[in-house]
Amino acid sequence: MQRVASWVPAFAGARSSREDRGFTLIELMVVLTIIGFISAAVVLAIPDPRGRVIEDADRFAARVAAARDEAVVTARPMGVWVSASGYGFQRRDGSLWVPLEDKPFATADWKGGTRALVGREGRQQIAFDGTGLPTDPMTITLAREGERVSVTVDMAGKVMVGG
């Protein structure tokens, strides 16, 4: 019997040594994308104590600005008082200051752990006249877990939040 040799190409069934040497670009990009997503999730999950104090300061500043605007719109003086544990609003009615308890001017306590540094008196006050100008400038410093943020009202009635 005669043997017939079949023709087989040199590369049939053989593996190139290049295929076994590493990862493809697609595999590397997929791994880097997964690492990026995991890193972003971890960063977003870490609480930022300064961020929470800034949120309280932003909320307080917005409400003080709303009180200033209310004084202008109604042409009636509005007051803001601040204590270590919270703050509130009042409106001038004749010769008396009347506390406000309706939204958005309801009395509010600082969120857990936040306190206002208000000095020896234990309370600071400011009033806006009917044109929106304050009686005096005021700076309130909020503190929580060693972080501090200041809310300032200047003589023009501008309310600013700063570190």
The number of helix segments (H) and strand segments (E) in the chain equals: 2, 9
Residue 8 has pLDDT above 70, yes or no: no
Residue-level pLDDT at 78: 92
CA 31 to chain centre: 32
The rounded percent of the chain whose pLDDT value lies above 90 is: 40
Which sign, positive or negative, has the C-alpha torsion 68, 72, 74, 75?
positive
The backbone region for 150, taken as left when phi is positive above 0, alpha when psi lies in -120 to 50, beta otherwise, is beta
How far is Cα 162 from Cα 53, in angstroms, rounded to an integer?
11
pTM (two decimals): 0.68
Containing 150, the helix (H) or strand (E) segment is: strand 147-153
Domains of the chain: 49-162 (3.55.40.10)
How far is Cα 145 from Cα 130, in angstroms, rounded to an integer?
38
Residue 18 has pLDDT above 60, yes or no: no
